[in-house]
Amino acid sequence: MDRGEVKVMSDEEVTAGIQSMVRQSPAPFRPLVVLEFAVGAKQSAIEWMISKLQGSEATGGAELEVSAVVMTYKQGTSQTVLYIGAKNTRLLSAADMTSLCKVYKDNHYREFTIEDMANFKGIEDVDSFLTTAEKQKLILHEMEAVRASDEEGHIPGYDKIKLWTGKSILKKYLSREIITKMYPLHEPEEIKKLGADWYQLKRVFKEQPIDDIRHYFGEKIALYFAFLGYYTIALIPPAFIGIIYFITSWQSMYREAIFAVFNLIWATIFLEVWKRYCSELSYRWGTIDMVSSKYDEPRANYYGTLGENPVTGKPEPVFPKWKRNFRFYCVTVPIVSVALGIAFYIMLGYFIMQEWADKKYASEKSWVNFSVLYLPTVIYAVLIGIVNAIYRKVAKKLNDWENHRLQSAYDNHLIVKLILFDFVNCFISLFYVAFYIQDMALLRSHLAALLITQQLIGQVQEAMVPFLFLKRRKKQVDEVLKKQNALQKKEYFNGEIAEDVQRQAGMESEMEEYNGTMDDYLEMFLQFGYVFLFSSAFPLAALWALINNVTEIRSDAFKMVKVFQRPFAESAASIGAWQVAFELISIMAVMTNCALIGMNPEVRKLLPSDVTAVNIVLIFVAVEHIILAIKVAVAYLIPDQPKWVEIELAKTAYQSKLALQEKHFQVNLSKHIHRTSQDKEKIDAVLKEKSQ
């Protein structure tokens, strides 16, 4: 059966089928997550999913609360929408299983356990003990944890859609578009308040409400906005100095050398201070001591033969490491290499085009000729964006196929693929001009054209967001009205869903899905490279980046609040592999800037005339090593964690040790009392026997 095939069912079939599967509950629940099936989805597939979501853990189900709304349209088709919630007892059990951190009675974050539940702050009000974002995250975890068994070879009603043993059933439904949409519901009042404190014009130069962002969207998204804000502030000094250098008549050599050294040291200070701030945030949010990866559960999309985790003893899919390595080295690496080759030849094509334009139009000065001279660069900048977008889709497909067990490993491999290609695609032409053609004037104009063109395109897109949002909202309202007009009958199973909740779900259903922070970090990474790799060539790069980021923060905030569906919250202790990526760029920037300064003719004039080219290279290699040594010293002198965080972590570790010792003491005492009682009984029995 093709995924696009639609079977028209009678009203009686739909009603009878859903009513037989949805277990009735005595009281209504609060829906937190919505699942929308495709119009005309097979009834048997819908019923099976409902049974899995409602089924007990013992039978492989998620044990969640489900309310189904079946809408029959005038065209004769029907659509089923599931509203998912969970009882507090189920949520607390899931919090225990997933090691969710909550505030303990000593005001420190600890992993929540049902056994020690009474000692956690706020537990007296069970409804509000877990935030809505945490509840939605736990519901998603339980839904994704429902995996196919050996006997479940395909989705009922879809014989051609095979199920891998141990693979998430929900993910299969989504990938084959049997379920077309899944999203957690927004909290209207809370998101309205967050928007007022975040993206409004009067808040442009004020600090972002990072704790509120974390409370609503989770740590991963909050850390992205915290890093973006921190990076934007860090751009102010180099932007200010860049303006001074631009408007003054300092000698070029001094300007380049001093500005480059400042930027290189400043980039290190920024990254080290950010790590300290990040550790403060992660400590405050209880994620600084996240569980080691060997205990982490596998990704929902991870598949393999159903086996057992050797550490936890829990059942999970097992996929051979040799097979993953084979896929990576024998398929991924060749494909990525070909993509890098394509990027290189596109760059050569750009220079051929530029050379042709220079020969034909550089001789006569006019606005037309000036525009034509810069046209190849503009086309190349646009082409870079198009090729990057295509490659990202290819990279994601390859990453999915490699079948990484952990989400962290999946993310890191994808980051490496994206960084490698985007770095080559965006910077290879700059390296070519700087070190092959060795034309500083061309490097300066080329860098400016690439950076400004890409950011102008981005700014136009950002400026269009509010306008497009209004159009989109009108379209959403039209779509909802269209569905209502086409609706012939609506039936509820397991309790009615309030009309306002259904209207809210209908509007959010038409919103765009948020695809995560990956593209946002990648955009920031490339901008960081433009600013620092060739800072001696274009001092105004930091200014352009600063202007871009000030608007980027608010436009991204606007989209999170008004444009995107609410994403599921994700925990995070840091920005992960991106921290390493930015640090590598800062190290590479030392090499590129030292090389650029060393190739400057004005610098060479200062050296004795009898100094050979080899000696010049050695001199600037030595200078490069000195600057690298300074960077290492700065990184060493700035601890990754503030002293107070180290002390608090030590206190927590000590208190945990005392609690464990107390627990062992109680267990041993109980055993001792039991053993003493047994010994006494034996002695009494022996004495009694002797007396007789």
Higher-confidence residue of 384 and 89: namely: 89
Separation CA 299–CA 417 (nearest Å): 19
What pLDDT does 555 receive?
86
Q: Which structural domain, as residue segments, surrounds residue 455?
A: 192-641
Q: DSSP string covering 44-69, please?
A: HHHHHHHHHHHS-GGGT----EEEEE
Same structural domain, 135 and 223 = no
Same structural domain, 217 and 311 = yes
What pLDDT does 488 receive?
54
CA-wise closest residue to 81 among 41, 37, 47, 31: 37
Work out the pLDDT band at 18, boundaries 50, 70, 90. very low
Same structural domain, 157 and 196 = no
What pLDDT does 25 receive?
44
Same structural domain, 180 and 212 = no
Is the model's pLDDT at 210 over the cut of 90?
yes
Tokens coding 59: 């039978």
Neighbours of 1 (CB within 10 A): 13
Residue 251 located in a structural domain = yes
Same structural domain, 411 and 301 = yes
Same structural domain, 448 and 545 = yes
Residue 307 located in a structural domain = yes
Is the model's pLDDT at 423 over the cut of 50?
yes
Is the model's pLDDT at 611 over the cut of 90?
no
pLDDT above 70: percentage of residues in the chain:
83
Residue 658 located in a structural domain = no
Q: What is the CA radius of gyration of the chain?
A: 31
For the chain, helix (H) and strand (E) counts, in that order, are 23, 11
8 Å CB contact between 143 and 161: no
Distance, CA of 75 to chain centre: 40
What pLDDT does 329 receive?
92
- Give the count of domains, the chain: 2
What pLDDT does 187 receive?
94
User: Which of 149, 169, 185 is the C-terminal boundary of a domain?
Assistant: 185
Is the model's pLDDT at 685 over the cut of 90?
no
User: Which of 153, 185, 217 is the C-terminal boundary of a domain?
Assistant: 185
Same structural domain, 416 and 457 = yes
Separation CA 679–CA 246 (nearest Å): 91
What pLDDT does 9 receive?
47
Work out the pLDDT band at 503, boundaries 50, 70, 90. confident
Same structural domain, 472 and 381 = yes
What pLDDT does 544 receive?
92
Residue for token digits 């995250």?
137
Separation CA 126–CA 594 (nearest Å): 60
Same structural domain, 254 and 383 = yes
Helix (H), strand (E) at residue 26: none
Tokens coding 616: 């010049």
Alpha helices in 289-406 (DSSP H): 321-327, 333-361, 367-402
Same structural domain, 152 and 204 = no
Residue 632 located in a structural domain = yes
Work out the pLDDT band at 688, boundaries 50, 70, 90. low
| pLDDT tens digits, 516-540 | 899 899 999 999 999 999 888 888 8
Residue for token digits 């921190």?
230
Residue 322 located in a structural domain = yes
Same structural domain, 166 and 241 = no
Tokens coding 387: 């090729």
Is the model's pLDDT at 249 over the cut of 80?
no
Same structural domain, 217 and 108 = no
